[in-house]
């Protein structure tokens, strides 16, 4: 009986000691956290978190605004993306160039999309018709349009819907990323947060950036 009593007392003493150590470790952790937040490193963490949330807010605001304000789509870009995805080429085969209002207009006979029947900035070369634009924008949009075609949404039958998908999922977020990048660059150059945010949003709303981000 004495041995059992001694064993029980020793076990209770050990539990009490462990509890004191646990409370002590929690108290120490709180003290360390408070010291960290009050230290220059703690302020740096707070500044970095504020910068991150501000950057995310700029991105989301610009994304929604760029996509919601509808711009007139560029028929030429749509026609070339259609040709690239549906016919596997960056040029047109069947067509004719005519003069209209002192401008050269290309009549596109390859497409059945009414909006793509008359195009500008097309030149003939060896029996084919080419666009005088860099091909990068067409290759960029091709995967998006290929997904739309796979789902049964083509320019020919669902032109407004396809444009909305391209704008909301491609051009608008890309434009918003550019604005966010300007803000991050400004903060990297140690420009004050309000000034960096104002500068990036000024570029977004007071330049062709907004208009160009709403179309392909």
Q: What is the pLDDT of residue 41?
A: 52
Q: Where is pLDDT greater, at 171 or 47? A: 171
Q: For residue 57, what are its two tokens?
A: 């807010």
Query: Among residues 84, 91, 102, which one has the least CA distance to residue 145?
Result: 84
Cα 201 from chain centroid (whole Å): 16
pLDDT digits (tens, 9 = 90+) for 93-124: 999 988 877 788 999 999 999 999 999 889 99
């Amino acid at each position: 009986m004495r041995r059992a009593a001694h064993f029980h007392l020793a076990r209770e003493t050990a539990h009490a000691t462990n509890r004191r150590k646990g409370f002590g470790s929690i108290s120490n952790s709180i003290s360390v956290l408070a010291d960290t937040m009050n230290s220059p490193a703690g302020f740096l963490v707070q500044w970095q978190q504020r910068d991150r949330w501000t950057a995310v807010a700029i991105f989301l605001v610009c994304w929604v605004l760029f996509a919601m304000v509808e711009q007139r789509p560029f028929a030429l870009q749509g026609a070339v993306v259609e040709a690239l995805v549906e016919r596997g080429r960056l040029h047109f085969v069947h067509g004719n160039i005519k003069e209209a209002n002192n401008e050269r207009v290309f009549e596109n006979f390859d497409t059945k999309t009414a909006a793509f029947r008359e195009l500008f900035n097309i030149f003939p070369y060896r029996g084919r018709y080419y666009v005088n634009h860099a091909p990068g924008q067409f290759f960029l949009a091709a995967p998006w349009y290929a997904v739309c075609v796979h789902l049964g949404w083509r320019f020919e039958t669902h032109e407004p819907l396809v444009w909305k998908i391209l704008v909301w999922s491609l051009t608008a977020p890309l434009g918003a990323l550019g604005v966010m990048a300007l803000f991050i660059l400004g903060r990297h150059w140690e420009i004050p947060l309000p000034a960096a945010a104002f500068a990036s949003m000024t570029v977004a709303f007071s330049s062709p950036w907004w208009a160009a981000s709403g179309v392909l």
